[in-house]
Chains A and B, each alone.
Chain A
Amino acid sequence: MRVTFTVNGRRAEADDVWEGESLLYVLRERVGLPGSKNACEQGECGSCTVYLDDVPVCSCLVAAGQVQDREVRTVEGLADGDELDPVQACFIKAGAVQCGFCTPGLLVQAHALIEHNPAPTDPEIREALAGNLCRCTGYEKILDAVREAAAIKAGVA
């Protein structure tokens, strides 16, 4: 089948998509956007998180056909040209990136959190990111990064 959707503001088309293909596979292997990661492909790790019409979803659990005519935003679409989103900049600065395999999903999830809750408390950050596994950092620097990004976006840092 053919799937047509918008990704990061651009039209994307994928041909010969198999029935069982996930949005994650289409992004990674068919439209040249491998930024979303494939750590489990079973909805358990959050590394594949993308926005689907403004809602963060695990793209490994979304069938490719479901995104027809819809809007997807991936980690590749968070920055404004060369200008990193504060969440991205803070992840680097706070040391929240080690191997970085969890990072794309965490960035999208954290970005969505701050959109909806501009001043999250620590328990709120933890709850919002509880579906995103990271094996490297022990999460402390991720908390630092999200706190700081929220403050920057709120204009208080």
Chain B
Amino acid sequence: MRRRFISIGFLILLVVCWELLSAGIGKPYILPSPSAVLGSLWENRREIFFTHLPATFTVVAAGGILAVLLGALFAVAMDWSPWLMQALYPILTVTQTIPVMCLAPVLVLWFGYTVRMRVIVVILVNFFTVTVDLSDGFRATREDRAELLCTFGADRLQEFWLLRMPTALPNLFTALKISVPWSVIGAAVAEWLGAPAGLGMYSRSCMMNLDAAGLLAPLMVLTALALFMNGILGLIEMRLMRWKGNL
């Protein structure tokens, strides 16, 4: 509680400094003050919250969920077949280092400025992380526990649900929590390239008008969105992982 108090206090201090600095510079198109950003958010609340936020959220949710499903599918398949593991795992670890975001323009060529293109960007950004993290989680399964289950007569499916999945669960949550901000980033960048609606597209149109406050306002919404989703994930995690004690 005390620590939280300190960090909130520090945050307020930072915002105040920003406000003062911006007043000192006196050029709102270079450094808008926090109050100006909030003002811009309030002024355009209709457009931001009812047109652009839903558009972005759809892409984030669809892309995020598909990425997790797809990534989990690959991880499970690799866990199931040592052969697939040997074939894919090295490739996956290498592809992780590709700046997938830079592929977005190529996707525009292929799919145009469509929802599908933006969803694919979000999937690509997250897929590898989920696969690799979850796969590492499965591999952390202790062999002696698996052997014990085997002496009870467990088949492979039972071993998976009773042992491998619970072992990998903490890793799954780590992957999910990393995926949330990256999904938001992926969606925003894809919208930057061009989209009929979305917070990224809104932010870009403000940039064209040299409206710095308007540019930052949707960023605040995006941040809040990511924080909110991770908060929910944290609650689920806490519930599922009570056995660990204080998280």
A is bound by B: no
User: Which B residues fall within an 8 A CB radius of A?
Assistant: none
